[in-house]
Amino acid sequence: MPSASLNLIEDLSACCSPITGGALDVESAERLARVFKALADPTRVRLLSLIAATEGGEACACDLTAPVNLSQPTVSHHMRQLVDAGLVSRDQRGKWAYYRVVDSTLDAIANAIKPERLGQQTR
Amino acid sequence: MPSASLNLIEDLSACCSPITGGALDVESAERLARVFKALADPTRVRLLSLIAATEGGEACACDLTAPVNLSQPTVSHHMRQLVDAGLVSRDQRGKWAYYRVVDSTLDAIANAIKPERLGQQTR
DNA sequence: TCCTCGTATAGACAAACGTCAATACGTCCA
DNA sequence: TGGACGTATTGACGTTTGTCTATACGAGGA
């Protein structure tokens, strides 16, 4: 069921409660923590940067195993976490799976962390 | 020894390797993941936002236990994680401990997540 | 249709994590 | 100096996480 990941993305971009903008309710905190948890592993951070660094912004799953030096199932497991968190999208083409960074999610997280605008506060 | 947390802060602001700016080396990924791990728990996200929401930007440890509804040792444990990650600074004044959000660390993380500047959206 | 190959899932296991009760540490005040 | 009080540490516990091997799923080609 892919609805879980989709909900997370929508919730993130919809609410965007900034951490430093006031006391967060439990729900917002859980939503944010869920995304941070997906980023809380060095391997997943590297996988994300590997995908972003690929020209075209798209990386085949087959090219992700070697760089991180882990077994194929382990990489598949990590990719699932990234997809579920809405940080990465998956596109199956034939036998191959292609991953792409979801910029809007990264933006939402960045805004949640640092809502201050360069120059003046919009709020 | 407080050097561990200090090193992390310095490293973060010093290097700031953006996730989407090219393949990260293992060390940078670990550094980033360590900070994300500190944010990967709903309680710690709430604690962080509670501190940020306090007027003066400073919160007493004694005022943090009730809102999150956890035992004092547990809150103390979470605060240590936030301090070690460089997300929060601790100031002991008399019997009380005061915490304050370290903006530079939040900025560094936000920049690592979303290095693109406001001016030009390529997309 | 069967085989090959890329990917995902299942199951197992050690390590890390979040939480608590109990206790230790430090600072203030009488 | 001794007690009270705020905070940190210790030790224990069940749960979650990261990794592996083994296996299942699914698409393409002979």
Q: Name the minimum distance, in Å, from the CA of B57 to any CA of chain A.
A: 9
Chain D nucleotides with an atom closer than 7 Å to a protein C-beta: 5-11, 17-23, 26-28
- Residue B38: the pLDDT is 98
What percentage of chain B exceeds 70 in pLDDT? 76
The DSSP annotation for chain A comes to: -THHHHHHHHHHHHH---GGGSPPPHHHHHHHHHHHHHTSSHHHHHHHHHHHHSTTSEEEGGGTHHHHT--HHHHHHHHHHHHHTTSEEEEEETTEEEEEE-HHHHHHHHHHH--PPSSS---
Residue-wise pLDDT for A31-60, tens only, equals: 999 999 999 999 999 999 999 999 899 999
CA distance B34 to chain A (A): 7
CA dist., res. B29 & res. A85, Å (int): 18
Q: pLDDT by residue (tens digit) across B13-39?
A: 444 567 766 678 888 899 999 999 999
B52 is written with which tokens? 């940020």
Q: What is the pLDDT of residue A23?
A: 76
pLDDT band with cut points at 50, 70 and 90 for residue B11: low
Q: B97 pLDDT band (50/70/90 cuts)?
A: very high
Q: What is the pLDDT of residues A21-31, one digit of tens each?
A: 667 888 889 99
For residue B119, pLDDT over 60 is answered with no
Q: Is the pLDDT of residue A96 over 70?
A: yes
Contacts of residue B20 in chain A, CB cutoff 8 Å?
48-49, 52-53, 101, 106
What stretches of chain B show up as alpha helix (H) in DSSP?
3-15, 26-38, 42-53, 65-68, 72-84, 103-113
Radius of gyration of chain A (CA): 16
Domains and CATH numbers, chain B: 3-18+26-113 (1.10.10.10)
**Pairs across A and B, CB distance < 8 A:** 119
For residues B95 and B4, which has the higher predicted lDDT (pLDDT)? B95
